[in-house]
Amino acid sequence: DGGITQSPKYLFRKEGQNVTLSCEQNLNHDAMYWYRQDPGQGLRLIYYSQIVNDFQKGDIAEGYSVSREKKESFPLTVTSAQKNPTAFYLCASREQINQPQHFGDGTRLSIL
């Protein structure tokens, strides 16, 4: 199921640096989501977008930013304001209300 592609698979960030994680989907899904996965904490919602040019903050949006200029793309930027960025980041998309979410393979972000 190559419908959602996340890149890169591994990413390293230096202190004070912003980094951008890519998420692309070819499923023609309207809604897209970014989650952060930490051991023992499950997945927590960072940002989501239900339609192009619109997005909302999730539960842990501080230190992150997103854009949704195209339906198929929902990049996540981890800014220098995010003090604990080391985590596994998962992107998901959903066709419409009441349909389940489909997930990408994830990006593992670490601090240099």
Partner 1 sequence: AQRVTQPEKLLSVFKGAPVELKCNYSYSGSPELFWYVQYSRQRLQLLLRHISRESIKGFTADLNKGETSFHLKKPFAQEEDSAMYYCALSGRGSGNTGKLIFGQGTTLQVKP
Residues 61 to 100: which contact partner 1 by CB under 8 A? 90, 92, 94, 97-100
Q: Using CA atoms, how far apart are residues 34 and 11, in angstroms rounded to an integer?
A: 16
Beta strand 19-25 with 31-38: parallel, antiparallel or unpaired? unpaired
**DSSP-based three-state secondary structure for 13:** strand
Q: What region, left, alpha or beta, does residue 9 occupy, with left being phi > 0 and alpha being psi -120 to 50 degrees?
A: alpha
Q: Using CA atoms, how far apart are residues 12 and 41, in angstroms rounded to an integer?
A: 22
Binding string to partner 1 for residues 12 to 51, with x set by CB under 8 A, is what? -------------------x-x-x----xxxxxx--x-x-
**Stretches 10-18, 19-27, 64-72, 103-111: which one binds partner 1 (CB under 8 A)?**
103-111
Smallest distance, Å, CB 92 to partner 1? 8
**What residues line the site for partner 1 (CB under 8 A)?**
1, 31, 33, 35, 40-45, 48, 50, 56, 58, 90, 92, 94, 97-106
